[in-house]
Amino acid sequence: MKIEHLAVYVSDLEAVREFFVTYFGARTNDMYHNPVTNFRSYFLSFDDAQGENSTPSNARLELMQRPDVTETTNGGDRLGYHHMAISVGSKEAVDKLTQRLHTDGYEVLSGPRTTGDGYYESSVRVIEDILIEITI
């Protein structure tokens, strides 16, 4: 058994897609559009490791948008989906990407640090209040 994909509704599909392409090297399919429901989506794929010898990751991220799905929370904690964790391969890569996101104006909530359960990570609130843990 494996997780095939996670899905998240967003309001600005293109901006969120570009965020993941820019900061995490995501590859995307062509946008799917259902003209009856006006549902639109992209599937994003990620590499398991950085560099030229990287292999595709199994789990994908689906970004979805539909006009009748609107913001219902204040960006704080809530039941259900909380965050996604993305492995970038090394402590140095965690540090570098966290600093880059901070410099570009995203809110670093914690870290980079080693957590009590032994993970080296940072937590960053990014575009559309998506919470990402950047880890080794």
| Half-sphere exposure at residue 67, Cβ-oriented, CA atoms within 13 angstroms | 6
CATH value of 81-135 in 3.40.50.460, 3.10.180.10, 1.10.1740.10, 3.10.20.30 = 3.10.180.10
Quick one: 122 exposed, middle or buried, by C-beta within 10 A (0-12, 13-18, 19+)? buried
The pLDDT tens digits of the residues spanning 76-118 come to 556 577 899 999 999 999 999 999 999 999 999 999 999 998 9
- The pLDDT of residue 77 is 58
The pLDDT tens digits of the residues spanning 52-86 come to 555 556 789 999 999 888 776 555 556 577 899 99
- The pLDDT of residue 54 is 55
- The pLDDT of residue 102 is 99
The pLDDT tens digits of the residues spanning 13-26 come to 999 999 999 999 99
- Give the CATH fold of the 1-68 domain: 2,3-Dihydroxybiphenyl 1,2-Dioxygenase; domain 1 (3.10.180)
Question: pTM (2 decimals)?
Answer: 0.82
Query: In the chain, which segments carry CATH 3.10.180.10?
Result: 1-68, 81-135
- The pLDDT of residue 2 is 77
- Residue 47 — very low, low, confident or very high, per pLDDT cuts 50/70/90? confident
